[in-house]
Homo-oligomer: A and B are copies of this chain.
Amino acid sequence: VSGSPKQHRGPPDAAERAASVSARLARAGLKRSAVRNAVIEAFFASEGHVTVDELLLRAREILPSVGPSTVYRTMKLLVEHGFATSRDFGGGHARFEPASGRHHDHVVCTRCGAVREFEDQEIELLQQQVARRLGFEIDSHRLELYGRCAACRAADARPTARGRGRP
C-alpha cells in the first residue's frame, strides 16, 4: 500500500488496479489491447467522477491514437463488469467512478464541479420510512446535494482576486 513510484497525481495504486482489472477482463474472455489499457489506466489514475472528455484527454496522454468511441465502449465494459459506476449529475455528461461496493451519495460544488461522497445512515432510514408511509418499497435512490464547497465560498468572499466576487 505504499512505495511504488506514482507517475500521475491520483490514487498511487492506479497502475495496479488497472492491471488487475485488465487481467480480470482477459479472464472473462476479452482481449487485452493497448488502447483499452490506456483508457483503464486513465480511469483509475483519475480522482473519480470523470467525464468521457476528461477520460479521453488523459488516455491520449498515454496513447494519442485513442478515439472517443473506444472510451465509451471501454467504460461501458467496466460498468457491465462491475468495475465502474456511471453517474448522471445533470448537464448531459455522464460521470464515472470506480465501483466501491459501498453505497454513498454525493455533494456537488456548483462553482468548481468538485464532487464529494458521503454516507448517512439516518437519511437512508428516513427515506425508507417516508416511502413506506406512501406505500412504496424502495430499492434504490438518488440523492445529490448542490452547493458551494469551502474553497469556492472563500474565493467568492475574497474581494481581491481575478474572479468576480459574486456579480
- Asked if A141 and B144 sit within 8 Å, CB to CB, the answer is yes
Interface residues of A in 129-153 (CB under 8 A from B): 130-131, 133-150, 153
Q: How many residues of A contact B (CB 8 A)?
A: 33
Residues of chain B within 8 A of A122, CB atoms compared: 126
What is the bound-complex CA distance between A39 and B26, given in angstroms?
54
Oligomeric state, in copies: 2
- Asked if A107 and B136 sit within 8 Å, CB to CB, the answer is yes
Chain B: CB-nearest residue to A154: B135
Chain A residues within 8 Å of B, Cβ to Cβ: 88, 90, 107, 109-110, 116, 118, 120, 122-123, 126-127, 130-131, 133-150, 153
Q: List 12 A-B contacts (CB under 8 A).
A: A109-B136, A110-B139, A122-B126, A123-B126, A126-B126, A130-B145, A131-B145, A136-B150, A137-B153, A139-B148, A141-B145, A142-B146
Given contacts A109-B136, A139-B148, 19 further A-B contacts (CB under 8 A): A107-B138, A110-B139, A116-B136, A118-B133, A118-B134, A120-B130, A123-B127, A127-B145, A131-B147, A134-B149, A135-B150, A136-B145, A136-B149, A137-B153, A139-B146, A140-B146, A141-B143, A142-B143, A143-B144
